Amino acid sequence: MAAKSNGNNNSLASRYACWPSLQANAELLKGTSITQLFADNPQRVEEFSLEAAGLRLDFSKNLVNTETLQLFSSLSEQAKLPEAIHALSTGEVVNHTEKRPAWHSALRSANTSEEVNQTLLRMEQLVNAVRSGSWRGYSGEAITDVVNIGIGGSDLGPHMVSHALMPYRHTDGSTLSCHYVSNIDPSDLNEVLAQLRPQTTLFIVASKSFTTLETLSNANKARDWLLQHDSDADTGKHFIAVSTAIDKAVAFGVDAENILPMWDWVGGRYSLWSAIGISIAMGIGMNHFRELLAGAHAMDQHFANAPASENMPILLALLGIWYSHFWHAQSYAVLPYDHYLKLLPEFLQQLDMESNGKNVNQNGEAIDYNSGPIVWGAAGTNGQHSFHQLLHQGTRFVPVDFILPLTSHQTSATDQQQHRHLVANCLSQSKALAEGKSLQTVKQELAESGLSDTEIETLTPHKVIAGNRPNNIISFTQVTPRNLGALIALYEHKVYVQSVIWQINAFDQWGVELGKQLSNKVFNRLSGDNSETFDASTQALIDHYTNANSPTK
């Protein structure tokens, strides 16, 4: 049975010779503050910033010093990161439980394989046909709406990117709208269908396996909806599919020429770069989709070639390891200061937590340390008015990544002023987290406001903000396809680096399967099949459900 992770780090300490020095360095830094680190080193911002693939990472407001960075380089060597990066980038088997490469970087390389190029070309034909209006539905009308039906990696990546790149939607005169349906909850698809006309709607069934309950159920329902409107409708004109299981997509009823392949060497949560991303390309056009690939490729090149000390994904990963193991951080927050990036935290939840939520190492041995953190967050400034209070004064230690595009797609004078407020808030939150508000400042401010000594004493502890909360700022010019591609690839590689340090497999997800198996059994019971027995709690809840849905209610 797997041992419970307790953060003891025993096996990490015995695996990595630099571990005790990292521990000692952390203890030393616990006696200082971020403010003091800046006071000690006027060059800190230059020394603790990196640029790559159009992104700038300012990591100066972290609890690290020059020695920490040297130890990070030692850790990279001791964990054989260069070899691990080479293995990932060249398509070696890195997913050992499923005996597969995780070769998403091949999807965005200029020198990719014939099968990838051919798929991109077919994607382009389909995208151009739909966007230009030459693809016609069963009634002869052009397509106005595309609905991506998929879940997990077949939804979160495409949906997040599609939303992020909305300003590129109509640049070539196309008026196509894109929608995303993922949940088995009937309300999800029903809400979308209520806005649409079957004659002008094209469904993309995106499923690597073409066995996923939610996706197949929604796809079947979408087809029924079409046929309910016109029983003679040619459904082939309204469905495209993307899958590794071409035969299953054909059996569902998608015309063979409209099924795009995917490959088992692409993990679901790393698949937006494949034809699974066709809904993105439908929305923004193929040239912009290729820009997205190019941005990711630029980050791939940086990751494969930059030395550890200047390697942005490695640094981001090791900062995460640092806070997890030596500062007991349980989570990190991602706070994008751009409305178009509001779905980024949700996307990163799957990328990070499905990848590194593991409790055994590559050899199947229980690990005695914490692996993947909890990822959470929301777009600023909204989060400032809800959970930032806990970031500033809560008892938990939560490192933060601020994502800051420097220019807005909104360009009027009023928009520019609002955007300046947005940026000002991002920079202020970063500063406030790092510096806090000292006892002395609080007392002085209260005294200046005319309060009595007793009132000052009472209020002061509530208003002191300790600061010393580390944060990164990842900035870039604007949310463009290229910058977004680089940003996503940055986090993909960060997650991989951490998995290498932790010796875990980032590319399987067996835990998800248990819920799927149980759900089938419970579904059968809810549907009246009494052959299975359940624990008392589940049985009582089944009875509640049955009671609530009984015809006599």
Binding to ligand F6P in span 20-59, by CB under 6 A: none
158 binds ligand F6P (CB under 6 A): no
Find the shortest distance in angstroms from Cβ 293 to ligand F6P: 19
Non-local (6+) Cβ contacts of 106 within 8 A are: 91, 112, 113, 116, 265
CA angle 295, 296, 299 (to 5 degrees): 95
Query: 345 vs 383, which CB is nearer to ligand F6P?
Result: 345
355 binds ligand F6P (CB under 6 A): no
Helix, strand, or coil here: 151? coil
Find the shortest distance in angstroms from Cβ 272 to ligand F6P: 10
509 binds ligand F6P (CB under 6 A): yes
**Options 30, 96, 516, 544, the catalytic residue:** 516
Size of the site for ligand F6P (CB under 6 A): 14
- Alpha helices per DSSP H over 285-311: 286-305
b/e code 259-296 from CB counts within 10 Å (16+ = b): bbbbbebbbbbbbbbbbbbbbbbbbbbbebbbbbbbbb
Stretch that binds ligand F6P, among 28-36, 148-156, 423-431, 488-496 (CB under 6 A): 148-156
Both structure tokens of 342: 């509001």
Stretch that binds ligand F6P, among 149-157, 367-375, 385-393, 420-428 (CB under 6 A): 149-157
516 belongs to the catalytic site: yes
Question: Could you tell me the sign of the dihedral formed by the alpha carbons of 526, 524, 252, 272, in that order?
Answer: positive
How far apart are the C-alpha atoms of 193 and 189, rounded to whole Å? 6
**Options 354, 388, 443, 492, the catalytic residue:** 354
Q: Which position among 121, 512, 526, 540 is part of the footprint of ligand F6P (CB under 6 A)?
A: 512
How far apart are the C-alpha atoms of 220 and 29, rounded to whole Å? 58
Stretch that binds ligand F6P, among 126-134, 152-160, 166-174, 521-529 (CB under 6 A): 152-160
Query: 62 vs 274, which CB is nearer to ligand F6P?
Result: 274
Stretch that binds ligand F6P, among 90-98, 205-213, 310-318, 357-365 (CB under 6 A): 205-213
100 binds ligand F6P (CB under 6 A): no
- Alpha helices per DSSP H over 364-412: 388-393
How many angstroms separate the Cα of 9 from the Cα of each of 190, 370, 495, 503?
Answer: 49, 8, 19, 13
Q: Which position among 101, 152, 436, 470 is part of the footprint of ligand F6P (CB under 6 A)?
A: 152
Binding to ligand F6P in span 265-294, by CB under 6 A: 268-269
How far apart are the C-alpha atoms of 8 and 14, rounded to whole Å? 12
b/e code 425-440 from CB counts within 10 Å (16+ = b): ebeebbebbbbbbeee
CB of 164 closer than 8 Å to CB of 484: yes
How many angstroms separate the Cα of 537 from the Cα of each of 60, 513, 526?
Answer: 51, 21, 14
Find the shortest distance in angstroms from Cβ 431 to ligand F6P: 38
207 binds ligand F6P (CB under 6 A): yes
Query: 79 vs 102, which CB is nearer to ligand F6P?
Result: 102
Both structure tokens of 456: 């000052």
C-alpha torsion 492→493→495→496, nearest 10: 120
Find the shortest distance in angstroms from Cβ 152 to ligand F6P: 3
C-alpha torsion 312→315→321→322, nearest 10: -150
Q: Which position among 162, 215, 356, 471 is part of the footprint of ligand F6P (CB under 6 A)?
A: 215
Both structure tokens of 490: 């940055």
Find the shortest distance in angstroms from Cβ 126 to ligand F6P: 19
Binding to ligand F6P in span 371-390, by CB under 6 A: none
Query: 54 vs 158, which CB is nearer to ligand F6P?
Result: 158
CA angle 375, 376, 379 (to 5 degrees): 135
Q: Which position among 209, 217, 349, 381 is part of the footprint of ligand F6P (CB under 6 A)?
A: 209
Per DSSP, the chain holds a count of helices (H) and strands (E) of 23, 13
How far apart are the C-alpha atoms of 144 and 200, rounded to whole Å? 5
**Options 4, 99, 385, 553, the catalytic residue:** 385
Find the shortest distance in angstroms from Cβ 519 to ligand F6P: 12
Stretch that binds ligand F6P, among 163-171, 207-215, 385-393, 460-468 (CB under 6 A): 207-215
Stretch that binds ligand F6P, among 73-81, 146-154, 230-238, 451-459 (CB under 6 A): 146-154
Stretch that binds ligand F6P, among 184-192, 204-212, 381-389, 399-407 (CB under 6 A): 204-212
CA angle 508, 514, 517 (to 5 degrees): 120
Q: Which position among 148, 182, 212, 503 is part of the footprint of ligand F6P (CB under 6 A)?
A: 212
> For the chain, first and last CA: distance in Å?
46
Stretch that binds ligand F6P, among 201-209, 283-291, 312-320, 322-330 (CB under 6 A): 201-209
Find the shortest distance in angstroms from Cβ 299 to ligand F6P: 21
Both structure tokens of 512: 């998800």
How far apart are the C-alpha atoms of 261 and 249, rounded to whole Å? 10
Binding to ligand F6P in span 402-461, by CB under 6 A: none
Find the shortest distance in angstroms from Cβ 194 to ligand F6P: 25
151 binds ligand F6P (CB under 6 A): yes
159 binds ligand F6P (CB under 6 A): no
468 binds ligand F6P (CB under 6 A): no
Write the DSSP string, 10-49.
Answer: HHHHHH-TTHHHHHHHHHHHTTS-HHHHHHH-TTHHHHTE
Query: 353 vs 456, which CB is nearer to ligand F6P?
Result: 353
Q: For every residue of 420-441, which 3-state class applies, written as one string? A: HHHHHHHHHHHHHHHHCECHHH
Task: List active site positions.
Answer: 354, 385, 516
Rule CB under 6 A: which residues touch ligand F6P?
151-154, 207-209, 212, 215, 268-269, 354, 509, 512
